[in-house]
Amino acid sequence: MIVLSEHVDYWNHIGWKDPYSAHLYSERQSLYGKRFGLDSVYTPQMVVDGSSEFVGSNPALADEAFANALTVPKISVHLSLLSADASGVQVHLDTGALGPSFGAREAEVQIAVALSRAESQVSSGENAGHRLTHVSVVRSLTKVGILKRGQGLSQDVHVNLGSGSESQNLRLIAFVQEPQQGRVLGAALLPLRVN
């Protein structure tokens, strides 16, 4: 499994601001909500391969969604590190072709920079006084290309890591997804150890 934790910002009004939240992730969740026909968005929500959604604290539904996802063919995605320094990395990205069997005319290729591990001390709200631990917290998300039906992608990509990033605690995730928060058709993970 390749995990992305996208922290929404709509809970920031309760007196404590999630340091990992961003409005972009709230917008992405809203698009999923529309796609799945939900009356409203909620947390904790888990979305698997852009194909199913459920309350993220339900292990039975998670196991079922993971098992289903394993049966679905994926586009191959590969990331390899070319060079790295404190400000960014140069990677090579390869994807397989978007074949007709996927039923999509095009798909977006995105790269996420994520903290492998993170913690936050909650000062207010229902989790006040708790120290929360997080996995694969997305810090940036960038569209780097578009696949058209019958085509793959092979290109070098520069990824900005941002100032003050925790260089020994990062991972890159490349994924292919149908537009408007559609199905995730393939993904790859590259742990980073930038000196």
**Tell me, what's the pLDDT at 194?**
66
Q: What is the pLDDT of residue 112?
A: 97
Look at residues 73, 79, 100, 74 and name the one whose alpha carbon lies nearest to residue 154: 79
Map out the domains of the chain as residue ranges.
12-192
DSSP string, 64-95: HHHHHHHTS----EEEEEEEE-SSEEEEEEEE
DSSP string, 39-62: SS--SSEEEETTTEEEETT-HHHH
Residue 31: predicted pLDDT: 95
Give the pLDDT confidence score for residue 123 in this predicted structure: 85
Cis peptide before 44 (omega within 30 of 0): yes
Positions in the chain whose pLDDT score sits under 70 = 163-167, 194-195
The model carries a pTM of: 0.92
Predicted pLDDT at 13: 84
CB atoms near residue 42 (< 10 Å)? 13
